[in-house]
Structure 1
Amino acid sequence: MNQSIFILISLLIRVSATQAQPTVGLNTVNRSVESTVAEKAPYTSKATEAPFYIKAYGFYSLLTPGTEINYSGSQSQISSPTTYKPINTHLGAGPRAGIGVGVIVSDFINVGIDADVLIGTALKVDNNVFVGSGSTYSFYAISTNTTLRVLSIIPNITFKALSRPAYYIYNRLGLVGGLVLDYKTTSNVLETPTKGAVTTSVGNTTYTKNSLALGYQAALGIQFRLSQSIRGFAEVVAYNQSFKPREVQNTTTSTKSGVATLQNSTTEFKDQGDYNKSNPYEQPSYNVAINSVGIGAGLVVRF
């Protein structure tokens, strides 16, 4: 009897041990998985990064495709041919400066709006020519200086082509609407005749009314992390813009033998008009292109 009880107790112990073993193993595995997940969990996820940003940037034009080419002329004496050569500076050349705001919509798309000012580089043209024939002629030294400033508003969308933790490569497309702040040409003329007094003239051509400078912008760039909230970027940018002058005011002051003469005139540019009309004069409308391709760089602050 005692032997039978001993055998029965031994069998119960073995069964209990066998049933308890999977439970212990499962608890061990669960604790191991929880430990691993806890160790691999990131400190900060992308979802908690600041979705808004502001930026400031500068741009400098290297090329001005499709813009008007101006020429300088030179003549050494009245019997010599007049040589000419193109001017390297065109409208749209020179620096821009701007700011922008935007929001990060997803891991691949940002949308924003920028505002920049075309500061530009003055367009200078010199012409030194003789006018007349025989012994009666005059030498003209003519220097003109054209300046243009445009404020542009650019709603845009950015597509991230390649994204890494430390940087990403992107391309950006935007529509450009520009307001012409200043567009004028100043001319200085020195007339030296073979006989008689020298005449000096100063002319100001100011485009007082202009259409909006409309177009588009395209950019390819790289943005890189500088700190948790600050990024830097560099990009190649193309601007395509044009506008139509609507009205121009001309003022010329001429001085000869100490006597000054002032002349004023107004010209309107229209799609249809009358060449013979005066005060104001009428001329056909035309486009002024201010295209540019160059490099830009700036800083982005996320908040």
Structure 2
Amino acid sequence: MNRVIILLIGLLVQAVASQAQSTQTSNSLNQSGESATKAIAPARTNATESPFYIKLYGSYGLLTPGVQIRYSESLSQTGQVFPFKTTNKGLGAGPRAGIGIGVIVSDFINLGIDADILFGTAIKINNSYTDDLYSSSNTSSTTLKLLSITPNITFKALSRPAYYIYNRLGLVGGLVMEYKTVNNRIDLPTSGVGVNTTNVTTNSYTENSLALGYQAALGVQFRLSQAIRGFVEVVAYNQSFKPKRLEVASTDDVGGQITNKVVVTEFKDEGNIVNSTTAQPNQSLSFNVSVNSVGIGAGLVVRF
């Protein structure tokens, strides 16, 4: 019995010694393999996405809640029927297109600056009058082009790997590139007595203050590829400026006799209203022009 126990103990010791030797050999090989691997192919860190981006976008102003009330009207020959129609568009309506750059500050905040041009939609007014002597019609068209710079901050409200929902706030400073109204008037005699008269008048606001205001947007950005994202948003603009100088150029054609005239008016915050009879400009009270819109926008974002 003792021999059996001694034999079993000997076999166990031999097995343990053999297992220990095998483990030591395996560890030596692993260490040698790791060293060789490290020597041949050093460890590489994972690349991260760039925090900088550039974006191209466009938008279209559909609603103009701050529209100045204007209307088309007509007057019948009896003078008792006076139909009219108010406009539903303001100076902020129409297309915009722009470009922007920005940086991703954190998982929740982006900072950027955008530059865009408002091409606008012409505001057209038609007026017509008829009496016993003349039939008169007048058509006016007001247009505005505005270059705006908008520093902005974007807050990510809900973020997922494939998309995120955001809202953006910005302060807008705009440069008025063009602001004018063109009037075309035609007077035709209805009694057979008199001459045809036409008048074309262009009111050009050649000097204006900066168009200051703010921008607010709510949208969703989604991944298209590793470096390209798309976005759609609802965006609102609210800006205003003050005209400083008005040049009115008119051409009258009365029975074939044509005359041209230019009248200049300067707008002041304080002073006297002056209708000059000399070459000096007229003076008048300054006033505020509103540029408002609520519309939809879309664009692409490229990270670099």
**TM-score bin, normalised by smaller chain:** 0.7 to 0.9
Q: How many Å apart are 1:6 and its aligned residue?
A: 4.3
Q: Is the 8 A contact 2:274 2:284 kept in 1?
A: no
Q: Deviations over 1:39-88 (max 9, x none)?
A: xxxx996x711211111111011110112121000123243332211012
Distance 1:201 1:288 in 2: 26
Q: Is the 8 A contact 1:224 1:231 kept in 2?
A: yes
Q: Does 1:143 align with 2:139?
A: yes
The total of aligned residue pairs comes to: 277
Q: Does 1:72 align with 2:72?
A: yes
From 200, 217, 220, the equivalent of 1:222 is: 220
Q: Does 1:255 align with 2:256?
A: no
Matches for 1:63-212 after TM superposition, within 5 Å:
63-130=63-130, 135=132, 137-193=133-189, 194=191, 195-212=193-210
Query: Which runs of no fewer than 5 residues in structure 1 stay unpaired?
Result: 28-42
**SS of corresponding position for 2:67:** coil
Distance 2:207 2:256 in 1: 34
Q: Does 1:300 align with 2:296?
A: no
Q: Deviations over 1:5-37 (max 9, x none)?
A: 949x66x949x79xx8xx99xx9xxxxxxxxxx
Q: How many Å apart are 1:298 and its aligned residue?
A: 0.6
Distance 2:128 2:273 in 1: 30
Paired letter, 1:184? K
Q: How many Å apart are 1:282 and its aligned residue?
A: 1.2
Paired letter, 1:79? G
**2:31 match:** none
**1:55 match:** 55
Q: Is the 8 A contact 1:82 1:129 kept in 2?
A: no
Which stretch has the larger CA shift, 120-129 or 86-95? 86-95
Query: Which runs of no fewer than 5 residues in structure 2 stay unpaired?
Result: 28-43
Q: Runs of 4+ in structure 1 displaced over 4 angstroms?
A: none
Structure 1 length as normaliser, TM-score?
Answer: 0.84
Matches for 1:5-44 after TM superposition, within 5 Å:
6=6, 13=13
Paired letter, 2:179? Y
Q: CA RMSD in A?
A: 2.8
Structure 2 length as normaliser, TM-score?
Answer: 0.83
**SS of corresponding position for 1:276:** coil
Q: Is the 8 A contact 2:63 2:89 kept in 1?
A: no
Distance 1:242 1:276 in 2: 26
Distance 2:183 2:204 in 1: 11
Q: Is the 8 A contact 1:129 1:141 kept in 2?
A: yes
Q: Deviations over 1:122-163 (max 9, x none)?
A: 1110000246xxx5x432200001110000000111111111
Distance 2:140 2:293 in 1: 22
**SS of corresponding position for 1:296:** strand
Q: How many Å apart are 1:201 and its aligned residue?
A: 0.5
Change (3 A) 1:80 1:44: farther
Distance 1:44 1:268 in 2: 66
Q: How many Å apart are 1:220 and its aligned residue?
A: 0.4
**SS of corresponding position for 2:161:** coil
Distance 1:138 1:111 in 2: 61
Change (3 A) 1:225 1:44: farther
Q: Is the 8 A contact 2:67 2:88 kept in 1?
A: no
Distance 2:268 2:167 in 1: 38
Matches for 1:230-249 after TM superposition, within 5 Å:
230-249=228-247
Q: How many Å apart are 1:90 and its aligned residue?
A: 1.7
Q: How many Å apart are 1:89 and its aligned residue?
A: 2.4
